[in-house]
Chains A and B, each alone.
Chain A
Amino acid sequence: MHNLIGIRWRAAAAVLLAGALALLAGCGGSSSSAPNSSTSSGATAGLTVPTANLPVLQKIGKGEGQLNLIAWLGYLQPQWVKPFEQQTGCMIHATYPNTSDEFVTLMKNGGGGVWDMASSSGDADLRIIYAGDAHPVNINLIPGWKQFFPVFQSPPFNTVNGVHYGVSLQWGPNVLMYSKKAFTTPPTSWNVLYSKQYAGKISVYDGPIYIADGAMYLKYHDPSLGITDPYELTQPQFQAVVNLLKGQHPLVKQYWSSAPAQISAFANGDVTVGASWPYQVSALTAQHFPIGAVIPKEGATGWADTWMLAAKAPHPNCAYMWMRYISTPKVQAEQAVSYGETPDNMLACSYMNQIAKGSCALYHANAPAAYFKTIALWKTPVAQCDNGKPDCVPYANWVAAWNTQIK
Chain B
Amino acid sequence: MSVTTPAGAATAAPAGAGGHGPWSRASALLWRRPWARATLLLTPPLAWFLLIYIASLAVLLITAFWTINPFTTNIERTWNLTNLTTILGTSAYREIILRTVGMAAGVTVIDAIVAIPFAYYMARIARPRTRTFLFVCVLLPLWASYLAKVFAWLLIFTHDGVLNWALGKIGIGPLNLIYTNTAVFVVFCYIWLPYMVIPVYAALERIPASQIEASQDLGGRTLRTVRSVILPLALPGIVAGSIFTFSLTLGDYITPILIGGGNSTLIGNVIDSNVVYNLPLAAAMATVPIAIMACYLLASRALGAFREI
Residue interface bits A236-277, CB-to-B below 8 A is 1, else 0: 000000000000000011111100010011001110000000
Which of B91, B176, B274, B276 has the largest number of chain A CB atoms within 10 A? B276
User: What separation, in Å, do the CA atoms of A227 and B156 have in the docked complex?
Assistant: 44
Partner of B158, one of A5, A40, A130, A268: A268
Give Cα A104–Cα B74 distance, bound, in whole angstroms. 10
Could you say which residues of chain A place their CB within 8 Å of the CB of B159? 268-270
A17-48 contacts to B, CB under 8 A, are 19-20, 23-24, 27, 30-31, 37-38, 40, 42-44, 47
Q: Given A19-B50, A19-B55, A403-B273, verify A256-B262 contact (CB < 8 Å).
A: yes
* CA A47 to CA B72, docked complex, whole Å: 11
Interface string of A364-407 (1 = CB under 8 A from B): 00000000000000001010000000000011100100011101
**Cβ 8 A contact of B71, one of A1, A20, A127, A257:** A127
B270→A38 contact, CB < 8 A:
no
Residues of B within 8 A of A399 (CB): 274, 277-278
Shortest CB-to-CB span from B88 to chain A, Å, is 13
Q: Indicate whether B54 reaches chain A with its CB closer than 8 angstroms.
A: yes
Q: Does A206 contact B (CB under 8 A)?
A: yes
A244 → chain B closest CB, angstroms: 18
Does B161 interact with chain A (Cβ within 8 Å)?
yes
Write out the residue numbers on chain A whose beta carbons fall within 8 Å of the beta carbon of B158. Answer: 264, 268-270
Asked if B219 is at the interface (CB within 8 A of a chain A CB), the reply is no
* Residues 52-64 of chain B, each 1 if its beta carbon lies under 8 Å from chain A, else 0: 0011011101100
Contact of A270 with B50 in the complex, beta carbons under 8 Å: no
Is B161 touching A268 in the complex (CB atoms < 8 A)?
yes
**B160 on interface, CB distance cutoff 8 Å:** yes
Let me know if B263 and A252 touch, CB within 8 A: yes
A404 and B50 contact, Cβ closer than 8 Å, known pairs A19-B58, A99-B276, A255-B262: no
Given contacts A19-B55, A380-B71, A382-B71, contact A1 B262 (CB under 8 A): no
A398 to B307 CA separation, bound complex (whole angstroms): 50
Within the complex, which residue of A15, A99, A130, A206 is in contact with B50, where a contact is CB–CB below 8 Å?
A: A15
Say which residue of B72, B73, B262, B278 sits within 8 Å of A407 (CB atoms): B262
Tell me the residues in window 269-300 of chain A with beta carbons closer than 8 Å to chain B beta carbons: 269-270
* Nearest B-chain residue to A252, judged by Cβ: B263
In the complex, whether A200 has a CB less than 8 A from a CB of chain B is yes
Which residues of chain A (321-351) have a CB below 8 Å from chain B? none
Give the distance to chain B from A406, nearest Cβ to Cβ, in Å: 9
A176 within 8 Å of B (CB atoms): no
Counting CB contacts under 8 A, is A105 at the interface?
Answer: yes
Which positions 81-113 of chain B face chain A at CB distance < 8 Å? 90-93
Verify B59–A23 contact, CB threshold 8 A: yes
Say whether B179 faces chain A, with CB atoms less than 8 Å apart: yes
A102 within 8 A of B: yes
Q: Say yes or no: A23 contacts B55, CB within 8 Å.
A: yes
Contact A101 B263 (CB under 8 A): no
- From residue A300, how far is it (CB to closest CB) to chain B in Å? 21
Given the known interface contacts A254-B263, A255-B262, A407-B262, the answer about A101 and B71 at a Cβ–Cβ threshold of 8 Å is no
A-B contact count (CB 8 A): 121
Contacts A131-B74, A269-B159, A403-B92; is A101 near B276 (CB within 8 Å)? yes
Contacts of A104 in B (CB 8 A): 73, 276-277
In the complex, what residue of chain A is closest to B297 when comparing beta carbons? Answer: A9
Q: How far is the CA of A108 from the CA of B263 in the complex (A)?
A: 29
The answer to whether B176 and A206 touch across the interface, beta carbons within 8 angstroms, is no
Which residues of chain B (270-297) have a CB below 8 Å from chain A? 270, 273-278
Nearest residue (CB) in B for A19 is: B58
B70→A42 contact, CB < 8 A: yes
Residues of B within 8 A of A396 (CB): 70, 278
**Interface set, chain B 121-174, CB cutoff 8 A to A:** 154, 158-161
Contact B161 A24 (CB under 8 A): no
Measured in the bound complex, the distance between the Cα atoms of B90 and A403 in whole Å is: 11
Residues of B within 8 A of A102 (CB): 276
Q: Does B306 contact A (CB under 8 A)?
A: yes
Q: Are A5 and B76 in contact (CB under 8 A)?
A: no
Q: A20-B61, A255-B261 are in contact. Are A200 and B73 (CB under 8 A)?
A: no
**Min CB distance, A133 to chain B, in Å?**
9
A247 CB to closest chain B CB (Å) equals 15
Asked whether, in the complex, the Cβ of B179 is within 8 Å of the Cβ of A40, the reply is no
CB neighbours of A256 from chain B (8 A): 261-262
A191 CB, min distance to chain B CBs, angstroms: 22
Assess whether B178 is interfacial by the CB under 8 Å rule. Answer: yes
Beta-carbon contact of B58 and A265 below 8 Å: no
Contact B301 A5 (CB under 8 A): yes
Kindly report which residue of chain B lies nearest to residue A21, judged by CB atoms. Answer: B58
Contact residues in B for A42 (Cβ distance below 8 Å): 70-71
Residue from A5, A101, A200, A394 whose CB has the most chain B CB atoms within 10 Å: A101
Q: List 17 A-B contacts (CB under 8 A).
A: A5-B306, A20-B58, A20-B61, A24-B62, A31-B77, A38-B69, A40-B72, A104-B277, A127-B71, A131-B74, A253-B261, A255-B262, A255-B263, A256-B262, A261-B257, A261-B258, A394-B70
The 7 A-B pairs with the shortest beta carbon distances in the complex, nearest first, are A255-B262, A404-B92, A396-B70, A131-B72, A254-B261, A31-B77, A268-B158
